[in-house]
Each structure stands twice: as C-alpha cells, then as structure tokens.
C-alpha cells in the first residue's frame, strides 16, 4: 500500500465526520423557528383579535391570563416528542410557568446588550447547544401595543386586574424597542 492509499480514506473519513456534524444545524434551526412561529402566531392572533374587540385591553388581558398557558400547552401537544416551545423573560409576569433558567438569562442579557450597543436585529436568532438539546431563541421586542399591559402608564383597571392575577408581576415598565422576552424552542437529538 502506498502512502496515498492510506491518506485518502483518512481524509474522506474526516470530511464525512464534519459533514454529519454540520449538516443538521440549519435544519434544526429551521425546525425550531417553525415551532416558535406556531406559538408566537397563535398568541399574536388571539391578542390582536381581543385588542380589536376591546381597545381598553381588558378583554385581551383576561384572555392572556386565562389562556396563554393553555395555548402554549396545546401548541406543545402538536410537536414531536423530542421538541418543545415556551416563552420566558428576564422580568416575568407569570412566574409559575415562564421563569428563565441560567441559559435563558445569558441569551437575553446578550440581546439587551446588543440593543444598548445598537447592534441588535429582531431577526437575530440565537442557537445554544447543551448536550443533546439544541435551543433556538427568538427575541420579542416591546411594541406600542404591548405597552397597555407591559408599559409604565397602565390604565387603573388594567393595573388592578394584573395585580390581582399576578401578585408577583415584574413585567411592567417596558419601553418601545426594549427586549420584552424570548420564545425558545428546544430540540432534542433524536
Ligand atoms: C392585554 C394585555 C397584554 C398585552 C397587550 C401584551 N401582554 Fe404580554 N402578557 C400578558 C399577560 C397577562 C401575561 C402572562 C400570561 C400567562 O399567565 O402566562 C403576559 C406574558 C407575556 C410573556 C411571557 C413571559 C412572562 O412575563 O410571563 C411575554 C414574553 C409577553 N407577554 C410579551 C408580550 C409582547 C411582546 C407583547 C406585545 C406584542 C405583549 N406581551 C402584549 C398581557 C399582555
């Protein structure tokens, strides 16, 4: 056997290994974005319809309070067993289901830094690999419509309804353009 015969198979093996490691990444990202859109779309559609029906925001607030978690569970029930999707934030309203973990906090702090540095894009999807799980993060920027329930000048009725449903609420005082939170999809190797 010549040296060339030895090198070529070794080279192929290495390049194949790289290919198999690199190839799933864009697919996993696309799959995560699909699940993020499922949850984001479901919540956004309902929020819009309720805000239109009752511009004070009270009807939409009642809807979010009673159904945001149910909708999240319904969307998750449609996903494959190896995947999940949820919302979280640094300042949380519903601390029984939306509390961030250390990884979530790191990613959101990076988004906040990018906003402060003016390098942020709402299209900046972040991918974090932890063992068998890949997380795909999409930032949620505070828009004018969000301020009714997450801003600094809440109407007295909205304020009262939030205080009674969420005695530990931290999700007010946001400004337009600030990071409200993220949607994160988690995809397990399968
Ligand atoms: C009508 C009131 C209302 C409006 C408008 C509203 N939210 Fe919320 N938001 C809520 C309530 C209530 C919850 C808690 C839902 C629950 O119990 O899971 C919440 C929770 C969230 C959460 C989950 C994290 C947490 O704090 O529990 C995110 C993220 C969020 N809202 C983002 C937004 C964004 C972005 C907008 C604007 C596009 C927006 N919200 C507009 C009422 C509102």
Distance of CA 26 from the midpoint of ligand 1 (Å): 29
Give yes or no for residue 148 CB within 6 A of ligand 1: yes
Q: Which two tokens stand for residue 123?
A: 């299209």
Distance of CA 134 from the midpoint of ligand 1 (Å): 25
68-77 per-position pLDDT tens digit: 999 999 999 9
- pTM, two decimals, is 0.88
User: Which of 88, 91, 184, 86 shows the shortest CA–CA distance to 138?
Assistant: 184
CA angle centred on 39, ends 187 and 130, rounded to 5°: 20
Own/partner contacts of 113-116, CB < 8 Å, gap of 24 or more, are: 115/177, 115/178, 115/179
Distance of CA 46 from the midpoint of ligand 1 (Å): 12
Cβ-contact 142, 115 below 8 angstroms: no
Confidence of residue 39 (pLDDT cuts 50, 70, 90): very high
The overall average pLDDT reported for the chain is 90
Pairwise CA distance, residues 154 & 160, whole Å? 9
Mean pLDDT of 89-110: 97
Pairwise CA distance, residues 53 & 34, whole Å? 28
Q: Which two tokens stand for residue 2?
A: 């010549």
Pairwise CA distance, residues 186 & 190, whole Å? 12
Out of 149, 153, 172, mutate this one to test ligand 1's pocket (max ligand atoms within 8 Å of CB): namely 149
pLDDT over threshold 50, residue 17: no
Whose tokens are 């919540």? That residue is 43
User: Which of 150, 133, 132 shows the shortest CA–CA distance to 141?
Assistant: 150
pLDDT at 5: 53
Mean pLDDT of 37-58: 97
pLDDT at 13: 44
160-169 per-position pLDDT tens digit: 999 999 999 9
Pairwise CA distance, residues 94 & 3, whole Å? 65
């Amino acid at each position: 056997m010549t040296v060339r015969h030895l090198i070529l198979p070794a080279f192929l093996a290495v390049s194949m290994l790289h290919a198999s490691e690199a190839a799933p990444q864009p697919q996993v990202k696309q799959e995560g974005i699909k699940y993020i859109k499922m949850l984001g779309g479901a919540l956004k559609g309902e929020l819009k319809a309720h805000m239109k029906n009752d511009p004070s925001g009270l009807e939409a607030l009642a809807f979010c309070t009673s159904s945001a978690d149910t909708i999240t569970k319904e969307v998750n029930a449609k996903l494959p067993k190896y995947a999940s999707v949820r919302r979280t934030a640094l300042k949380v309203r519903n601390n029984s289901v939306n509390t961030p973990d250390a990884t979530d906090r790191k990613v959101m702090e990076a988004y906040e830094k990018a906003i402060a540095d003016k390098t942020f894009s709402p299209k900046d999807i972040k991918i974090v690999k932890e063992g068998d799980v890949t997380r795909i993060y999409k930032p949620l920027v505070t828009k004018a419509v969000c301020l009714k329930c997450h801003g600094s000048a809440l109407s007295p009725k909205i304020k009262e309804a939030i205080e009674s449903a969420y005695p530990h609420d931290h999700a007010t005082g946001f400004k337009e353009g600030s990071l409200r939170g993220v949607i994160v999809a988690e995809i397990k190797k399968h």
